[in-house]
Structure 1
Amino acid sequence: MLAFAAVIATAQVTGVNQPPQGNMAGWTQVFLEDFKTDVPLGAFPGNAYGNKWSVYKDGTGVTNRPPTGKYYPSKVISVKDGILREDLHTEDGISMSAAISPLKDGAYLSQLYGKYSVRFKYVAAPGYKYAWLLWPKSNNWNDGEIDFAEGHDQNASAAFLHFEGAPRKQDEFKIPEVDMSQWHTFSCEWTPGKVVFKLDDKIFGTSERAEVPTKPMRMTLQSESCVGSPCPDAGARGLVEIDWVAIYAKQ
Structure 2
Amino acid sequence: MRSRGQRAAARLPRLYLAAVGLLVGVTITAARVGGSPEDPAEGSPPTPSPPEAVAPSGSGTVAPAPADAVGSEWTLTIDQDFSTPAAPGEFDRVYPGWAEYDGTRDTSGHGLYDSDRVVSVSDGVLRKTLHTEDGQPLVAAVTPVPHVQTYGRYEVRFRADALPGYKIAWLLWPDDDDWHDGELNFPEAYLDAGEEIHGFAHEIGPNPHVNAFIADTGQTLLEWHTAVIEWRPDSVTFALDGVEYRTTDPVAVPQVPMYWSLQTETKRVGPAADVSGTVSIDYVRAWAWTPPA
- TM-score (normalised: structure 1): 0.85
> Which among 82, 98, 101 is matched to residue 124 of structure 2?
82
Which of these residues, 168, 175, 185, is aligned with residue 130 of structure 1? 168
Structure with the larger strand share:
1
Is contact 1:112–1:215 with CA below 8 Å preserved after alignment?
Answer: yes
SS at match of 1:55: coil
Q: What is residue 7 of structure 1 aligned with on the other side?
A: none
Aligned equivalent of 2:70:
24
Question: 256, 263, 272: which is aligned to 1:233?
Answer: 272
Please name the residue that 1:242 is paired with.
281
**1:169-194 alpha-carbon deviations (Å, 9 max, x no partner):** 43211122x24121100001101121
Tell me the residue number matched to 2:13. none
Shift of 1:12: 2.5
Structure 1 segments (4+ residues) deviating >4 Å: none
Answer yes or no: is the 8 Å Cα contact 1:69–1:97 preserved in 2: yes
Does structure 1 residue 219 correspond to structure 2 residue 254?
no
User: Runs of 5+ in structure 2 lacking a partner?
Assistant: 1-44, 46-53
Match of 1:5 in 2: none
- Residues 15 and 119 of structure 1: CA distance in aligned 2, closer, same or farther (over 3 Å): closer
Q: Distance in 1 between matches of 2:283 and 2:74?
A: 18
- Please name the residue that 2:202 is paired with: 162
Look up the SS of the partner of 2:117 in the other structure: helix
Q: Separation in 2 of the partners of 1:123 and 1:233? A: 15
Deviations 1:48-90 (A, max 9, x none): 221x6233113x1113x6x521111111000000000001111
SS at match of 1:53: coil
Query: Which residue identity does 2:105 align to in structure 1?
Result: G
Query: 2:112 aligned with 1:70, yes or no?
Result: yes
Structure 1 residue 23 displacement after superposition: 5.6
What's the C-alpha RMSD, in Å, of the aligned pairs?
A: 2.2
Contact 2:91 2:119 in 1 (8 A): yes
Equivalent residue for 2:102, pick from 51, 57, 67: 57
User: CA offsets, 1:124-172, max 9 Å, x none?
Assistant: 2111001110011111111110001000144411000012303234321
- Over 3 Å counting, the alpha-carbon distance change for 1:19 and 1:193 in structure 2 is closer
Judged with a 3 Å threshold, the aligned counterparts in structure 2 of structure 1 residues 170 and 124 are, in CA distance, closer, same or farther, namely: farther
Q: Are residues 1:35 and 2:82 paired?
A: yes
| Percent identical residues | 37
Does the Cα contact within 8 Å between 2:91 and 2:116 map onto a contact in 1? yes
Deviation at 1:20, TM superposition (A): 2.8
Is this contact kept in 1: 2:217–2:240, CA < 8 A? Answer: no
